[in-house]
Amino acid sequence: MTRALLALGLVFLWAPVALMAAFAFSDARQPFVWGGFSWRWFAALAGNPRMLEAAMLSLGIAAGAATLAVLAGGALGWVLARHGAFRGRTLFGALAAAPLVLPEVVTGLSLLLLFVALERATGWPDGRGVLTILLAHASLGAAYVAIIVQARLSGLGRLLEDAAADLGATPAAVFRTVTLPLLLPSLAAGWGLAFMLSLDDVVLASFTGGPGATTLPVLLFSQMRVGPTPEANALALILLLISALVGAVALLLRR
Amino acid sequence: MSLRIEALHKSFGATPALRDLSLELPARSFVAILGGSGSGKSTLLRIIAGFETADAGRIMLDGQDIAPLPPRLRPCAMMFQSYALFPHLSVHENIAYGLRRAGTYQAARVRELLELVGLAGLDSRRPAQLSGGQQQRVALARALARKPPLLLLDEPLAALDAGLRAATGAELRRLQRETGTTFLMVTHDQQEALGLADLVAILHGGRVAQLGPPQQVYARPATRFVAEFLGAANIIGNHALRPENIRLGITGTVPAHVLRAGFRGETWLLECRTADGTALRVALPAGAPPPPEGSAVMLSWDVAAMVPLGA
């Protein structure tokens, strides 16, 4: 009984993905007709400069946004966990975590308005494009990193930092030799999470992107209007594998 | 090295943890701070180490007040109850940590310390790969690495199995003698304090209730709290009388009957009631069976065994 329920739940979750993956290897032109096994759509993908360009752009934005998110979110999480007794701490804590539950449409729209207003007032950013998408993704990712870092630091407690100070370490040495090494797995996990969030985002990229900057998910989404092709399946499968890889590494590191 | 604590005061909110606590420790001694939970013993240790700041008072180490110094500049070292070993560093690097910060690292010194605590050859292990007893000894070696004149030990044996505790206690004692370091150990365990220390300070309500050699604080408790905290005690009016100082026999001066006999391993602890209704506990060697419950007995004791108590 429990096994049947488990199987049912897993089928519900994974059947669409499995179907999508299977049809990526179909020789037929329609992505829902099985035409025998073939690599042709992967080959077609390799010969499609628009797709490849969008893929490289997406990977670049994801890596940049994740790095920025780790720096900003790491600092935020550290302050929340280690300098916890200042005025308004609860409010700041809630503010840091809010982007996690905020509807993406709201986040996207507010970021767009901010970028437009900023450009009018200061001339920067010059139009919307790669940079604005990257900043939008970094801001969302930073919230996740802050939560992960704060949880890790609270879990560790101050004991080891006290011990290091007792053994003669300056505050900078405590951070470098104890806090940072113990935080590294969480930072790497946070990087992976922010990377994946950026890689599969359509909403924020649509709001904050410009004509010159079409990320892979946005391109895929726009192609759906013309009609899906098995080429998109193949691409989705590759994205899935990259996400799974980064996710698995992040999961391993957090343990 | 001598440590003199002068009128130390500390409150957490409205709750005082230490109340004008003063204490003087002779150099090269093994001192136990004994108290129950909430007695302020852990707070005292954390203030000496520098992790908490006192509201008032001075901590004089060799004539210098260390109270204004941050932990890293204090000449004392701390051994934490949960050991606080760095999980990402090897045993060797854990012990070397303080030496590296001071710029006096030598691999030979670390190996010497490992030998001192009987862990030679375990340099490259991670703390997680060690048993609890081995971790305890790494923590000890790490704290002793820079030859601190004063070592603070927070419940050093509490995390060990009962079987390991006695042997490790003796080991602490040996290391204290060998290194000439003053040991200040906090514990809630009377046996541990009485068995290991040269001097025992009993803390109660943020003050030192009594300071003295183990035999003295046990035999001549200054207050009712000390008398009852250090093992069983009968309180008769304003006096304390230890159960093992009461004789039981056919002849005696005080008639009583036995209510209950509790087995303590080495002794039987009899709960008796005298004719005038006073409850008395009497310790008997466990070799012979105790008198049956309800039987009449005669009790007697030397007047000298009655210890007058202060407030």
Q: How far is B297 from chain A (nearest CA, A)?
A: 56
Instruction: Give the model confidence (pLDDT) of B28-83 as tens digits.
Output: 999 999 999 889 999 999 999 999 999 999 999 988 999 999 999 999 999 999 99
Residue A85 is predicted with a pLDDT of 67
**Structure ipTM:** 0.88
- Considering only CB atoms, A159 lies closest to which of B49, B82, B98, namely B82
Mean pLDDT for chain B overall: 93
Q: What is the mean pLDDT of residues B230-255?
A: 90
* Closest by Cα among B247, B249, B256, B221 to B235: B221
User: What secondary structure letter does DSSP report for A24?
Assistant: T
Say whether B101 and A166 touch across the interface (CB within 8 A).
Answer: no
Residue contacts between A and B (CB atoms, under 8 Å)? 51
Q: Give every strand in the sheet of B182-187, ordered side by side.
A: B76-79, B150-154, B182-187, B30-34, B199-204, B207-212
Residue A14 is predicted with a pLDDT of 92
With an 8 Å Cβ cutoff, is B101 touching chain A?
Answer: yes
Dist. CA A42–CA A44, nearest whole Å: 5
pLDDT above 70: percentage of residues in chain A: 98
Domain range A53-223, CATH architecture = Orthogonal Bundle (1.10)
Instruction: Give the model confidence (pLDDT) of B150-176 as tens digits.
Output: 999 999 999 888 888 888 999 999 999
* CB distance A66 to A198 below 8 Å: yes
Residue A254 is predicted with a pLDDT of 65
pLDDT band for position B123 (50/70/90)? very high
Residue A167 is predicted with a pLDDT of 97
Residue A200 pLDDT exceeds 90: no
Say whether B49 and A169 touch across the interface (CB within 8 A).
Answer: no
Q: What is the mean pLDDT of residues B257-264?
A: 91
With an 8 Å Cβ cutoff, is B98 touching chain A?
Answer: yes
Dist. CA B141–CA B129, nearest whole Å: 17
Residue B187 pLDDT exceeds 80: yes
Q: How far is B101 from chain A (nearest CA, A)?
A: 6
pLDDT band for position B258 (50/70/90)? very high
Domain residue spans of chain A: 53-223, 230-255
Strand B30-34 to strand B199-204: parallel, antiparallel, or no bridges (unpaired)? parallel
Determine the distance from the C-alpha atom of residue B236 to the mean position of all C-alpha atoms in its chain, rounded to a whole number: 27
Dist. CA A144–CA A99, nearest whole Å: 9
* Closest by Cα among B181, B130, B133, B184 to B158: B133
Say whether B72 and A169 touch across the interface (CB within 8 A).
Answer: yes
Say whether A164 and B142 touch across the interface (CB within 8 A).
Answer: no
| Residue of chain B with shortest Cα separation from A171 | B72
Residue A224 pLDDT exceeds 70: yes
- The reported pTM is 0.85
Q: How far is A160 from chain B (nearest CA, A)?
A: 5
Q: State residue B83 phi and psi, 5-degree precision.
A: 75, -35
Q: What is the mean pLDDT of residues B102-126?
A: 95
Element (H, E) at B204: strand B199-204
With an 8 Å Cβ cutoff, is B78 touching chain A?
Answer: yes
Instruction: Give the model confidence (pLDDT) of B2-24 as tens digits.
Output: 899 999 999 998 899 999 999 99
Say whether A166 and B87 touch across the interface (CB within 8 A).
Answer: no
Residue B310 pLDDT exceeds 90: no
Interface residue of B74, B101, B144 to substitute, partner A, most A CBs within 10 Å: B101
Instruction: Give the model confidence (pLDDT) of A79-105 as tens digits.
Output: 889 886 677 777 877 887 788 888 989
Q: How far is B49 from chain A (nearest CA, A)?
A: 7
Q: What is the mean pLDDT of residues B91-110?
A: 97
Residue B75, classified by CB atoms within 10 Å of its CB into exposed (0-12), middle (13-18) or buried (19+), is middle
| Residue of chain A with shortest Cα separation from B146 | A167
Dist. CA B309–CA B311, nearest whole Å: 7
* CB distance B66 to B59 below 8 Å: yes
Residue B311 is predicted with a pLDDT of 66
Say whether B71 and A162 touch across the interface (CB within 8 A).
Answer: yes
Residue B202 is predicted with a pLDDT of 96
Say whether A167 and B142 touch across the interface (CB within 8 A).
Answer: yes
* Closest by Cα among A119, A143, A146 to A204: A143
Strand B267-274 to strand B254-263: parallel, antiparallel, or no bridges (unpaired)? antiparallel
Q: Residue B231 is which amino acid?
A: G
pLDDT above 70: percentage of residues in chain B: 99
Residue A108 is predicted with a pLDDT of 92
* CB distance B59 to B8 below 8 Å: yes
Mean pLDDT for chain A overall: 89
Q: Which residue has the tokens 């991670």?
A: B126
Instruction: Give the model confidence (pLDDT) of A108-150 as tens digits.
Output: 999 999 999 999 999 888 888 899 999 999 999 999 999 999 9
